[in-house]
């Protein structure tokens, strides 16, 4: 009888205890009324860029706006970050809710951040100076040139590729550039032998420079994958699940061909 009474009392207490209808991390954003999104300060088309009329557009912009609409709030883009790592740090320190900034998933970042499902998936790639590549392949296979590359390899500073380059190409002399465009120019002139980045950036570099495309040799690393995802603070699991659902429902992840097709659209 006593046990039954205790169970009855416990049931009454549980029934009278209000249960939150929304997860705390989502509720905090909805209470504020805005979703704060970290995004690089310089454009990365077709992920994010300012149009001629000043409109912010791109895959990342559309994704961030869609997430905000799902939450019933407005989106605020924080474009103070000068590097990919700085955008990640803005989320880690709580200044922004999420980073949607062509952010590559990496084990180093995953130690302090949560990542969503990827919304873009592509291979890593190398952009060679064609003359330098021809010299390297004399008496060697292309596979040997790539996997035992010992020339000058350029990367974008404070990106996931800066760390990956040293592990994938231990014989290379790795040099960092503040901007991808500066690195491409260096490869074109022959000052840097090759550039290491995702296949989309490498392919777009050739497309964007048709007058000098013959100076480049591209190599796709089909045994590697670069996944682009949104990054969140470790204490936002419900928000991550919501974004994962949004990504899944909208037919993502896109591949490089899909993204390249979007580059020709306004």
Report residue 48 as tokens: 């994010």
pLDDT, tens digit (0-9, with 9 covering 90-100), for 53-85: 989 999 999 999 999 999 999 999 999 999 999
pLDDT at 19: 53
**What are the residues whose beta carbons fall under 8 Å from the beta carbon of 176, sequence distance 6 or more?**
154, 155, 156, 157, 158, 162
Confidence of residue 20 (pLDDT cuts 50, 70, 90): low
- Whether residue 10 has pLDDT greater than 90: no
pLDDT at 237 over 80: yes
Report percent pLDDT > 70 for the chain: 91
**Whole-angstrom distance, CA of residue 96 vs CA of residue 40:** 13
Q: Does pLDDT of 39 surpass 70?
A: yes
The reported pLDDT for the residue numbered 3 is 53
């Amino acid at each position: 009888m006593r046990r039954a009474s205790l169970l009855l009392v416990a049931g009454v207490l549980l029934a009278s205890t209000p249960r939150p209808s929304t997860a705390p991390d989502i509720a905090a954003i909805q209470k504020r009324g805005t979703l704060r999104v970290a995004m690089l300060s310089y454009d990365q088309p077709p992920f994010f860029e300012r149009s001629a009329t000043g409109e912010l557009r791109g895959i990342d912009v559309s994704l961030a706006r869609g997430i905000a609409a799902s939450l019933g709030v407005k989106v605020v883009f924080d474009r103070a970050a000068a590097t990919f790592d700085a955008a990640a740090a803005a989320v880690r320190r709580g200044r922004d809710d999420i980073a949607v900034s062509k952010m590559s998933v990496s084990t180093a970042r995953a130690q302090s951040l949560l990542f969503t499902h990827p919304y873009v998936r592509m291979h890593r790639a190398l952009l060679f100076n064609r003359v330098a590549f021809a010299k390297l392949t004399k008496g060697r296979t292309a596979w040997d040139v790539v996997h035992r590359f010992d020339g000058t390899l350029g990367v974008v500073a404070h990106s996931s590729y800066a760390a990956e380059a040293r592990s994938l190409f231990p014989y290379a002399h790795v040099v960092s550039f503040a901007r991808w465009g500066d690195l491409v120019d260096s490869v074109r002139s022959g000052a840097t032998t090759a550039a290491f980045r995702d296949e989309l950036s490498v392919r777009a570099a050739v497309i964007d420079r048709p007058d000098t495309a013959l100076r480049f040799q591209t190599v796709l690393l089909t045994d590697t994958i670069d996944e682009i995802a949104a990054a969140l603070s470790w204490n936002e699991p419900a928000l991550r699940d919501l974004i994962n659902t949004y990504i899944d429902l909208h037919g993502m992840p896109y591949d490089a061909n899909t993204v390249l097709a979007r580059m020709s659209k306004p």
